[in-house]
Amino acid sequence: MRRFYGGLPPLWASVHLAGGFAMSPVGETSAVDFADQFQMNALSAFLCSAAAIRAIRSRGEPGPGGAKGGRIVNVAARPALEPRLGSGMVAYTTAKAAVAALTQAIAQETAGEEIWVNAVAPSILDTPANRAAMPDADFSTWVAPSAVAEVIAFLASPDNQVTRGAVIPVYGGA
């Protein structure tokens, strides 16, 4: 039975981009600031992943092209994989490291259902906001959002038949 919610087909893939960034030395980071970063990044990834897994499990039919399971992609960040780069932004680094750990744990939990859960970990994205915040930086080494989108699109597609539990660095020239 094909169920549609609000005119949408049943969920097969979910990409979780919500999050935020804040930078301050550890001695100037309040508990509220730390909790805010954790909520914006780790808790949002957890809540979205949990809801997506429930929706994928309840689908009751194969996905695109008859594919089993589903796909979930979270967004971590380079400091999650290289915490020493998180100097001066410990709350953000800790929250994104939690996203990476969450991704790997959920990937193992859902592997038998072929719900492949992965994350990307970009370095600095070449966005207007980042250029404005760091006007003296070398933008040529930054990653274009479209490059990250290509990796996400593959991980979320039925073409991804084997990659699960990965936190993929998307660093460009940085």
Tell me which of 12, 34, 38, 92 is the catalytic residue.
92
What does the pLDDT read at residue 53?
Answer: 96
Tell me the β-bridge partners of 143. 125
What does the pLDDT read at residue 8?
Answer: 63
What does the pLDDT read at residue 84?
Answer: 95
Provide the b/e sequence for 143-170 (b: ≥16 CB within 10 Å): beeebbeebbeebbebebeeebbbbbbb
What does the pLDDT read at residue 5?
Answer: 56
CATH number of 13-170: 3.40.50.720
Pairwise CA distance, residues 76 & 141, whole Å: 19
* Mean pLDDT in consecutive groups of 10 residues from the start of the chain, 174 residues: 59 90 92 96 97 90 76 97 95 97 98 96 93 92 96 96 97 86
Predicted model pTM: 0.91
Pairwise CA distance, residues 145 & 124, whole Å: 10
Pairwise CA distance, residues 28 & 13, whole Å: 39
What does the pLDDT read at residue 63?
Answer: 72
Is 92 one of the annotated active-site residues of the chain?
Answer: yes
